[in-house]
């Protein structure tokens, strides 16, 4: 009970002259307690009705060696119960002739342990990192400074070219600054270097859609340690484009939070309204075929209208030849703000806009 609550009761006696015996009967507070409150009020006023903190608050009168023993037992794996710890401490005190601490004292010592230290001792460094480590949120300063590329298996069933029901894979290239989708690819097979190259090729090239301006060559490509991203085929192409590749830490999905959030939104907000959607519980049952069979849809609701690279470069379906060009008409990659005036795969000359930025267009 704080000072306000005590004054709410005592003011009936101070201001309204109601006897303390009547207040004790009506309020459920002892008459002797009301007398002490009244005496404190007459001595120090309203402030004297508050609680006075103890001088030894936060300290224990238990032997420090016993406190360390309790803490050591509480951090043992598997962790014993408080009753077991109290019994072991009581036996140790009986052997040395010391007074044994009470059960409540042992419980307070165990409850006062730092949660991070308990997690590190009982669950290991990986669990401590996931629960207590500070995360640094970083965002690129300008578009095309950092791109993130990743894959995921979608929670939906589709029919492949053979009429078999499969779960497609989605490869996405995101701009770290705006989180805009620079390029993507839907494939019936597992991720491969060829599919990754097609997604990067689409991200680099100018798009035919006027409301999809993302294109250009990034400074940094941030990926995981997938075999397609660590392959020589992708590495040699990115080196030729002077793109620096940075791999995230192994087993740390927090570093790829933007792409993981995008995949989560696709699976939970978009695919749930489409026929063939599967629940998360059943998502782990079917497996995707291993034969690579990539498709490039033609509608904006499921894919861009950029021409299928396999149609323009039939022999380059599994090579990185098309990716070595900076745009559809230029034979060399360009790092300036370049936009082709024609959406065809092989148009005439490019219309170049003078700019020092590496982005073809700023995301809207």
Sequential DSSP letters for 291-328: S--EE---STTTS--SPPHHHH-GGGTTSSGGGGSSSS
Query: Is this structure's pTM higher than 0.75?
Result: no
Rounded-to-integer distance, Cα 214 and Cα 339, Å: 10
Domain 64-132, CATH: 1.10.10
**Cα angle, residue 134 at apex, residues 132 and 137 outer, rounded to 5°:** 145
Q: pLDDT for 173-229, tens place per residue?
A: 999 999 999 999 998 888 889 989 999 999 999 998 889 998 999 999 998 888 888
The pLDDT assigned to 55 comes to 67
Q: Which helix (H) or strand (E) segment is 46 a member of?
A: none
- Residues lower than pLDDT 70 in the chain: 55-60, 134-135, 253-254, 280-364
Indicate the SS3 state at residue 16. Answer: coil
Rounded-to-integer distance, Cα 54 and Cα 276, Å: 66
Token pair in block for residue 17: 């002259």
Judging by beta carbons within 10 Å of its beta carbon (0-12, 13-18, 19+), is residue 85 exposed, middle or buried? buried
Give the contacts of 136 (CB within 8 A, at least 6 positions apart). none
Cβ neighbours around 179 below 10 Å, total: 14
For 1-5, the CB contacts below 8 A with 24+ separation are 2/50, 2/51, 3/46, 3/47, 3/49, 3/50, 3/51
Q: For the chain, where are the alpha helices, taking DSSP H only?
A: 3-14, 20-27, 31-44, 64-74, 82-96, 103-111, 115-123, 125-132, 193-204, 232-240, 257-265, 309-312
Cβ neighbours around 271 below 10 Å, total: 15
Q: Which of 202, 248, 233, 260 is nearest to 320 (CA)?
A: 233
Q: Which of 259, 262, 177 is nearest to 218 (CA)?
A: 177
Indicate the SS3 state at residue 176. Answer: coil
The string over 333-360, giving b where at least 16 C-beta atoms fall within 10 Å of a residue's C-beta and e elsewhere, is bbbbbbbbeeeebeeeebeeeeeebbbb
Rounded-to-integer distance, Cα 14 and Cα 46, Å: 12
Rounded-to-integer distance, Cα 216 and Cα 291, Å: 31
Top CATH class of 146-324 equals: alpha beta
DSSP assignment, residue 244?
Answer: E
Token pair in block for residue 60: 């224990």
HSE, CB side, 13 Å, CA atoms: give it for residue 77. Answer: 8
């Amino acid at each position: 009970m704080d000072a306000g609550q005590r004054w709410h009761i005592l003011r009936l006696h101070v201001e309204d002259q109601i006897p303390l015996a009547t207040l004790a009967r009506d309020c459920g507070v002892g008459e002797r307690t009301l007398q002490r409150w009244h005496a404190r009020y007459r001595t120090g006023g309203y402030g004297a009705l508050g609680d006075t903190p103890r001088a030894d608050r936060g300290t224990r009168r238990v032997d420090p060696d016993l406190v360390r023993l309790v803490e050591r037992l509480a951090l043992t794996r598997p962790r014993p119960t408080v009753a077991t710890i109290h019994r072991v401490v009581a036996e140790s005190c009986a052997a040395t002739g010391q007074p044994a601490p009470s059960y409540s004292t042992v419980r307070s010592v165990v409850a006062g342990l730092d949660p991070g230290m308990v997690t590190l001792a009982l669950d290991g460094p990986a669990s401590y990192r996931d629960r207590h480590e500070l995360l640094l949120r970083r965002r690129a300063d300008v578009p095309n400074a950092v791109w993130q590329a990743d894959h995921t298996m979608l929670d939906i069933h589709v029919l492949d070219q053979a009429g078999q029901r499969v779960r497609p894979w989605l490869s996405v290239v995101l701009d770290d600054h705006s989180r805009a989708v620079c390029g993507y690819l839907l494939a019936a097979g597992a991720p491969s270097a060829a599919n990754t190259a097609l997604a990067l090729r689409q991200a680099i090239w100018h798009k035919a859609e006027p409301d999809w301006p993302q294109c250009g060559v990034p400074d940094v490509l941030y990926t995981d340690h997938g075999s397609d991203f660590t392959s020589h085929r992708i590495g040699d192409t990115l080196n030729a484009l002077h793109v620096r590749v940075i791999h995230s830490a192994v087993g740390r999905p927090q570093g790829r939070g933007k792409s993981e959030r995008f995949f989560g939104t696709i699976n939970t907000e978009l695919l749930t309204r489409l026929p063939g959607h599967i629940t998360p519980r059943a998502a782990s049952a079917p497996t995707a075929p291993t034969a690579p069979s990539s498709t490039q849809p033609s509608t904006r609701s499921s894919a861009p209208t950029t021409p299928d690279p396999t149609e323009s470069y039939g022999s380059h379906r599994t090579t990185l030849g098309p990716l070595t060009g900076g745009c559809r008409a230029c034979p060399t990659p360009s790092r300036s703000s370049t936009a082709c005036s024609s959406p065809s795969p092989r148009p005439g000359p490019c219309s170049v806009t003078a700019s020092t930025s590496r982005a073809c267009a700023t995301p809207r």
